[in-house]
Amino acid sequence: MKSNRSLMKWVPLRCALCGFVLALLTLGIMTLAPHRAITWICSAGILSAAGYCMGRQVQKLYEEIYTDKLTNIGNRNLFYYQMGGILDALKENRLRDVSLAMIDIDHFKKINDAYGHMIGDRLLSEIANILKKSTRKTDLLIRWGGEEFLVVLPNAALEGARSFMERIRSMIESHQFDWIRMTDVVTISVGITSYKELEKSGLPVGDLADMLLTTADNALYEAKKRRNEVAVHRQR
């Protein structure tokens, strides 16, 4: 599954190409008399430029709606938009499973109090960058709000997601944030759930997004009791 973000990257060029093709269809390059070539070239350039500008506007609108401005990753709008397609893929067996990890930065309020909110924002951005570098192109990375992030992992079973998030937890624990004292170690707590685990309950997985969020949040609650831990939701 390609993310909408990667597809939107090429929208301006695609719109410019559409403008060029429109010029071909409208002006009929193959039948143009030589003296009208300059007219066609100018018209093709204008239509291509107009298409590119329109594409850029579409791209900017998409970014405003679906991007978190602080961390430059997806926001809640993108999560709910993408989860519709993920649920369809699961129903049609185009995906075997999907796991969701909810991440919370431990003691984030203390960091804000000790260093100020600007440093807190910088920490959020740097953790988002670590997550971006660690996740696959097919994964969905979301800033859920405050100091919480979501990672949606298509075709990842519960145990695979747990191992993956354990590596990220360890990576962040050992990462040296240059603007934070060496004695202050930044850690995260993680709660994980999966579609297949929810299926075991026998309940119809109708509103997949909310069910995954609720069970991942429950697992995160358990992880936060001890901090710096990855906990999974298992159906009893």
Confirm whether 147 is a catalytic residue.
yes
In the set 147, 148, 173, 197, the catalytic residue is 147
Is the Cβ–Cβ distance between 98 and 213 less than 8 Å?
Answer: no
- Residue 64 backbone class (left: φ over 0; alpha: ψ -120 to 50; beta: rest): alpha
Token pair for residue 43? Answer: 């018209």
β-pairing, 140-145 vs 98-105, is unpaired
Supply angle C-alpha 95, 96, 102, rounded to 5: 85
**Measured CA distances, 69 to 17, 179, 199 (Å):** 30, 22, 35
> What is the C-alpha separation between 214 and 229, in angstroms, rounded?
18
Element (DSSP H or E) covering residue 121: helix 117-134
Classify residue 145 by its DSSP letter: E
Long-range contact pairs involving 166-170 (C-beta distance under 8 Å, separation at least 24):
166/230, 167/134, 168/130, 168/131, 168/134, 169/228, 169/229, 169/230
The residues annotated as belonging to the active site are 147
